[in-house]
Every structure is written in C-alpha cells, then in structure tokens.
Amino acid sequence: MSEFNFVATARNDLGTSASRRLRRAKQYIPAIIYGGEEAPQPIAVEQREFYRVLETEEAIYTSILNLDIDGKKQQVIMKDMQRHPFKPLVLHVDFQRVDSTHTVSVQVPLHFQNEDNCVGVKQQGGKIQHLLNEVEVTALPQNLPQSIDIDVSKLEVGQTIHLSDLELAEGVNITALAHGGDTGVVSVHAKKGGKSDDADEEGGEEATEE
C-alpha cells in the first residue's frame, strides 16, 4: 500500500467564482473532504505536488492519502475528480475521510498479464477481449489493493474469466459479487475469418457434398 502526502488549506471563499479564481492562480486545486463524524470541509490542495503524483503514480486512486490541512493531519482516499473537458486541468477533487476500522469502496484497475503467451491467442489464433478495465472493491483502507493482476496465459478460445475467478487478498471483496453480479472480465474469441471460421466453413461444405 502506497501513501502520498499533500499540503492543503481550509477554504472559506466559496462559490463558482471563488473556485475559478483559485484555479486561475495556478497554486491550489479546489476540493472538499467529507465522511466520518466531522462535517464536510471545503479545502484547497497544493497543485504542483498533486499534479506530479497524478501523472506518475497510478496508485493515487487506490491508496491512503495524507492531507496536511493547515497543520491538521487527515487520512483520506480520493473518491471523485472533475477534469476540464479538453485542457489538462483538474477542476475539483472529492476526498473521503478514512480510518483503519471502517471499510471503503474504490475502483481498482485490472492488469492483464501474459497476453502474448495466451494459449487462445498464440496456439489457437484467437483474440483477447477486455470486458472490464476496473472493478469496485470493498476493504479496510490499509488493505486496498493498488491493482488486481489477472494471468490470461491459460485462457483458451471461447473461455472467459469472471469476477468470481479473481484472486484477492483476505479482507478484499468485489462489490458486484456481494450483490450477485458475477460478470465476465476478459475472454478469448475466435477472429473473424480466422482458423476457427475456416474450419467451420470447410465442415459445412463437406456435409453439403455428402
């Protein structure tokens, strides 16, 4: 579990115009912190370090973040982030307070491994199809995985790896499974016009001739 540290300050000047002025100064990002027993608190996060980590560390989305808000320490996770539609700017960030005794839910990226050595691709001429790129998990903050690795080396044409097939650490649960939704994650299907299709066509022709 990675941890990241950011400096922030309480924000009293609220509203759309105030947020726009804050972003224009290019020093802070408007944000809010909520959850726990405390009231929601508008804050402003120091921009430079947040952008640096955002660009280089995928784990920022699934890790505990340490906020220093005017000298007061808060542990949070990032729950939502609003980006500019076409400029490389973060417009607003939502943080949720966390502690070691209460579970939280986050979207965790899926990392597919050994695709080049996949049986269904290398030996059977199939094509890998990613059905999901991330999945929501529930766990204590300190147990949140940064990613979920999926080995597809043994996957054959026509086979699918489902959510229930994923290997997770103890205490980490997939939210969808708790609600009975066992969907596919990755599969291998035959390429159109590939060997599988050719074989089917040849079989059909032979049956017709007979």
CATH architecture of the domain with residue range 105-197: Beta Complex (2.170)
State the CATH architecture for 3-98: Beta Barrel (2.40)
Calpha distance 94→174 (Å, rounded)? 22
- The pTM of the full predicted model, rounded to 2 decimals, is 0.80
Q: pLDDT (tens digit, 0 to 9) for every residue of the chain, 210 residues total?
A: 567 999 999 987 665 666 666 666 568 899 999 998 889 999 999 998 999 999 988 899 999 999 999 999 999 999 999 998 988 889 899 999 999 999 999 999 999 999 999 999 999 999 999 999 999 999 999 999 999 999 999 999 999 999 999 999 999 999 999 888 899 999 999 987 655 444 444 444 444 343
Residues of the chain with CATH 2.170.120.20: 105-197
Neighbours of 75 (CB within 10 A): 18
Strand order in the sheet with 148-151: 148-151, 104-113, 134-139, 173-174
Cα 132 → chain centroid: 10
Sign of CA dihedral 132, 136, 139, 145: positive
Residue type, 138: T
* Residues of each domain in the chain carrying CATH 2.40.240.10: 3-98
